[in-house]
Amino acid sequence: MDQTPNILINPETAIPIGIKKRFNLKYLFIILGAVVLIEIIIGVWVFLQKNSSAGTAPGKLAENQVSTQPGDKSVNAKLSLSSVKNEFKVGEVIPVTISIDTDSQVVDGVDVVLNFDPAALEASSASITTGTIFPEYPVAKVEKGIVRITAITSLAGVGYSGSGIFATINFKAKQKGQAKVTVDFTKGSTTDTNIVGTEFPDDMLSEVKDLEVNIK
């Protein structure tokens, strides 16, 4: 028996129909492949454009993009000690004023720790007069040559911004000689004297000034 396959001939084109079907499938796969490739190229291009406009690399700012992280601004809050004069007599009251300057930042809380020599100066918790720049002073005490004062904003209140008197301590001069009141301060630490802002949760205090007086 003759095993030769029957091939139908299209009378219009004179091309075998079986061969024509194989060619049609081949071109169809080529077209589909081209479409998929184009979609991949478009997807990659869109992805790159988005990353380019957003700044691409993590942590790197794109051109004209401004960082708003609190740590990007240098804040120079200050705290200083002062008195009405430099010389006092034994038995005289030495008023020491604690002043702060927040460098225009809004402050939520302040901790002050002062050291003094109990042999030269005398003070008690009753010697402290708190200021009015904060609504609450939960800590205001003196013990063993250390003064501790803490001020905070109320839960519903707004923090303090500006320069003002934080508190006043009335020491009593006990003996002749030089007497110092020093601020216990380590920059960046929140366990000693510090100023904490609304936008700066870390210590933003950068400068302190101690006080030295002469007792005659």
pLDDT grade for 74, boundaries at 50, 70 and 90: confident
User: By percentage, how much of the chain surpasses pLDDT 90?
Assistant: 57
Q: How far apart are the first and last CA of the chain?
A: 138
CB contact at 8 A, 179 and 117: yes
177-183/211-215 β-pairing: antiparallel
As a whole number of angstroms, the distance between CA 214 and CA 87 comes to 5
- Which of 68, 167, 70, 172 has its CA nearest to residue 114? 167
Task: Report in angstroms the alpha-carbon separations of 113 from 75, 116, 183, 191, 210.
Answer: 21, 10, 6, 9, 12
- For the stretch 124-158, pLDDT in tens is 999 999 999 999 999 999 999 999 999 999 876 78
State residue 103's pLDDT score: 94
55-to-51, 64, 66, 73 alpha-carbon distances in Å: 6, 10, 11, 21
- Residue 195 CB contacts under 8 Å (≥ 6 apart), including other chains: 77, 79, 100, 102, 107, 109, 110, 203, 204, 205
Q: Is the pLDDT of residue 179 over 90?
A: yes
Predicted model pTM:
0.66
Q: What does the pLDDT look like over 186-216, one tens digit per residue?
A: 988 888 999 998 887 789 999 999 999 999 9
Task: Write the single-letter amino acid at 212.
Answer: E
Task: Tell me the pLDDT tens digit for each residue of 20-40.
Answer: 555 566 666 677 777 777 878
> Can you tell me the distance from the alpha carbon of 130 to that of 139, in angstroms, rounded to the nearest whole number?
10
